[in-house]
Structure 1
Amino acid sequence: MKKNIKIIAITLIVVLSGFFLSGKLEASKNEVVLTATPITVSPKEEPAILIEKYPEEATKEVRHKLDSLLKRINKRHDFHGAILVAKNGKIIYNNQIGYADFKKKEPLNEVSMFQLASVSKQFTAAAIMLLNERNQIQLTDTVNTYFPNFPYENVTIKNLLNHTAGLPKYFWIAEHKWQQEKAPSNSEMMELLESSNVQRYFKPGRNFDYSNTGYFVLASIVEKVTSTSFGTFLKRNFFEPLQMKNTYVYSFENDSVKKNQLDGYRLYRGWRHLKINNTVNDAVVGDKNVYATIEDLFKWTLGLNNGKLLSKESLELMHSEGETVYGRKFPYGFGFRINTKGQKNIYHYGKWNGFSTGLTQYLEDDLVVIVLEHTSYNAMKSLNKKIKKIVAENFNV
């Protein structure tokens, strides 16, 4: 009898141990149900922006035409750069031609990183709109709200965004008033503005005058409000969320040069490419100095348009024409130029230290054309039109 009790006890222990090792007991009315402990598997992280491409067969003809165009402008016009064309959010064409480094004869590749020049301004405008959405700033705030000693009163953030502030050119001020060998940073340039006694062009809101000064001041406001560098703010809020791994803000003398970061060149005597040296204006950011690959710049366009970064209302403001206090409209929004003649398109071009850049969105066609170049190419507008014509004639989707 004792032997049987012992056997039963051992059996119960084994059975119950099995229950606790392999699962858990759940009471449901008069039942005992054994449920296996689920194995937790971390889901595969989905990319924030999925880059899609059209099938090769569908793009064969248009790729052939664009390849021919790329070879032609390389040979005839010394074009050394990259072109990306996308329709309906999917890439039709993405290619590059020419050299990254002329001395080493290294060719450009898909991870070559171009200085975006004034195409950088849309990142600055987006940063401001994000702070506006977070109620950290208001577009009607004046610069003096954040920099009490700013010498040009009544300049609002909106004036800076749409180039109606009337501020003097900081390039000239840096070249004539800066006394140190090291190029000034944003904070140093803001201090120089305060002490330079250079007159503004007009009172805020009266005219449109394209201004690099306004956009470096905007970047300085971002730094002041967030207590972080402009580059870090863009990285955390835009570049990392969109997995733009080859995009960053670069300030000469303050940041290290990255692998695949390109230099700008100019052609000397029709055959020799000379590297363009940095200047006293190259440490200031906000008006320029975002570097990116062409595919990262496409990710940016997708992310901005599909609401991953900003609200629809903010984007509409960025894409809306500006207006003076007298009611005169002009074709610039916040960080974007606007063409309303014929088919509306949103675009921006840039030129700086040998880099020529262009990002154009044809809204009705849902067509994006991006061109990045680094040997002082000077026919960006004409090239853009040729690309659009080739796509229209050879790609029907």
Structure 2
Amino acid sequence: MRKIFLTIIGLILLAHTYAQDKTSRIDSLFESLNTDSELSGAFMVVDSGKVIFEKYFGHEDAEKHNKINALSRFELASVSKQFTAMAVMQLEEKGKLSFEDEINKYFSNLKFKGVKIKNLLRNTSGISEFLAWDPNWIDKTKINSNADILKIVEDKIDTLLFTPGEKYWYSNTNWILLSLIVEKVSGQPFSQYMEKNIFKPAGMINTSVFSARSPKSNLKNYAKGLAYDAKSKSFKSVDDFPSYRYVQYFDGINGPYGIASTAQDLLKWNEALYKNSLLKKEKFIKSISVDTLNDGKYIQFSGLYYGNGWLFTDSTSNENKMHFHTGGYPGYYSIIVRENKNQRYFIALLNKWNTINVYPLTSAIDKILQNQQVPKIERETLSEAIVLMEFQVKQLLGTYAYEKQTELKFDITADDNGNIFAQLTGQQSIQVYPRSELELFYTAVRADLKFSKENDQINSLTLFQNGQELKFNKIK
């Protein structure tokens, strides 16, 4: 008996040693990523159901008055989608709606037909992305709400991009409509439904549907979104960037984003999912199971499958498979990853753009948890901009068409202060910075624009991103 007892004690000590080693390696990883003290966010790692790492870096504000801590709330961006999906799935479980319902049942003024709730949940509706709409459709003098976006859909969207269920097309408009359906079916504002049926039951006391720029918003313990300004060589509030102005007039939107939470509350979310306390087990498994398009092929893009607010790589209907979702919105970058088999969970919430990519970070954490060698991770380079003369800025301006697909265009513009902006077809206008007379770089993403001359006139630009080179010829 004594030998058995000693063996058990030995195994417990060995497991504790392994856990300590993992924690130490994770801690070293984050310290290596914070050598300039500019890493800013909340990070948590769970292994075998236990928190083995929890750490907070940086500040809630650009002035560095308030340090990020366990109570700091971050905007979740697209990580919010899994919460919206949960609300819809709860109502389906109660028989209040069906995934097969056509959305015209809830929005009678739509000019198109054939879109079902399941198409919204799986991003196969064919409804265009509201963030890429004609700017003239949007009232920029106010904080727009879901109702404002619905009115535009009803008035402006005559046809779909494709037949519903024909292909996968990520669109945040889908999730605005889902949020509105939750309100119509439940008879409650979306924020109240989420509080009563998801956040409170899960014990998420510091989580809410949130609009930071609304007059009565509680900004205590709020981690503001920050981005790097290459001109001032410092991090500033995203509200100070002209190209991110849309975060202000779209701040009343919820469903695709619009939820703020803490790392500790997201741990409670994971526990609620693990215990199936918010939704029956078989119902949740459907949210991380593969569905098919009209032609019978799996709903898939870039090697990933899309469920109801979750991404995954395993096509089996297996509750233990890894599933995750990222979130990205000006100033914020986040990811949560779940894997039930080993009860592993990773949370990364950042309130600074331009510092670290969450994908290689997640991969490194996974390697540590599996006691494997960790690949080297590099921080984003914080490049410094130069100042161009007025005539140098003007020579870059114009419209450039992609040589292999002329409907894809780049518009290069500038404001009265000489700030330069690049807008790719279907995307928001983003500020870019001059590295040289003929080279601009992004800080929102890792990409460069290089211009070419012929007879001393700019005739093309080349986009360098993700190892690709795409040439655009100047057309006006």
TM-score of the superposed pair, with normalisation by structure 1: 0.81
**Corresponding position of 1:385:** 363
**TM-superposition CA deviations, 1:245-292 (whole Å, max 9, x none):** 110011343751331111100112384111012332221100001100
Q: How does 1:98-117 map to 2 (within 5 A)?
A: 98-117=58-77
2:228 alignment partner, one of 267, 280, 286: 267
Give the counterpart of 1:276 among 238, 241, 257: 238
CA positional deviation for 1:304? 1.6
1:315-326 aligned at under 5 Å gives the runs: 315-326=284-295
The answer to whether the Cα contact below 8 Å between 2:274 and 2:340 also exists between their aligned partners in 1 is: no
- For CA contacts below 8 A with separation 6 or more, give which structure has more relative contact order: 1
Change (3 A) 1:143 1:317: same
Query: How many Å separate the matches in 2 of 1:254 and 1:202?
Result: 39
Query: What amino acid sits opposite 2:314 in the alignment?
Result: T
Counterpart-to-counterpart distance in 1, 2:140 and 2:65 = 36
CA shift for structure 1 position 344: 3.9
Partner residue, 2:32: 72
In the other structure, the counterpart of 1:334 is 308
Aligned residues: 340
Residue matched to 2:187: 227
User: Residues 298-349 of structure 1: CA distance to partner in whole angstroms, max 9, x if unpaired?
Assistant: 1111102211000112101101123101011020110000122899420101
Tell whether the 8 Å contact from 2:77 to 2:257 is kept in structure 1 after alignment. Answer: yes
Q: Which residue of 1 aligns with 2:261?
A: 292
The secondary structure found in structure 1 opposite 2:326 is strand
- Rate the CA distance shift 1:263–1:98 in 2: closer, same or farther, 3 A: same
Residue 151 (structure 1) shift: 2.5
- Check if 1:173 corresponds to 2:150: no
Aligned 8 A contact 1:71 1:97 in 2:
no
Which range is displaced more, 100-109 or 351-360? 100-109
Q: Which structure 1 segments of 5+ residues have no match?
A: 1-54
Among the aligned pairs, what percent are the same residue? 29
Q: What stretches of structure 2 of length at least 5 have no aligned partner?
A: 1-14, 240-246, 373-476
Structure 1 residues 133 and 333: alpha-carbon distance in aligned structure 2, compared to 1, 3 A threshold: same
- Comparing 145-154 with 59-68, which one deviates more in the overlay? 59-68
Q: How far apart, CA to CA, are the structure 2 residues paired with 1:336 and 1:267?
A: 29
Partner of 2:56: 96
Q: How do 1:339-378 and structure 2 match up within 5 A?
A: 339-340=313-314, 344-376=321-353, 377-378=355-356
- The separation in 2 between residues aligned to 1:117 and 1:324, in whole angstroms, is 27
> Structure 2 counterpart of 1:273, which letter?
F
Q: Deviations over 1:148-173 (max 9, x none)?
A: 11233111000000011010111133
Greater CA deviation, 279-288 or 133-142? 279-288
Compare the two structures and name the one with the higher helix fraction. 1
Matched residues in 1 for 2:190 and 2:294: separation? 30
Cα distance in 2 for partners of 1:75, 1:100 equals: 19
Q: Distance in 1 between matches of 2:140 and 2:324?
A: 37
Counterpart position of 1:11: none
Select the structure of larger CA radius of gyration: 1
Partner of 1:128: 88
In 2, the alpha carbon distance for the partners of 1:367 and 1:360 equals 8
RMSD: 2.2
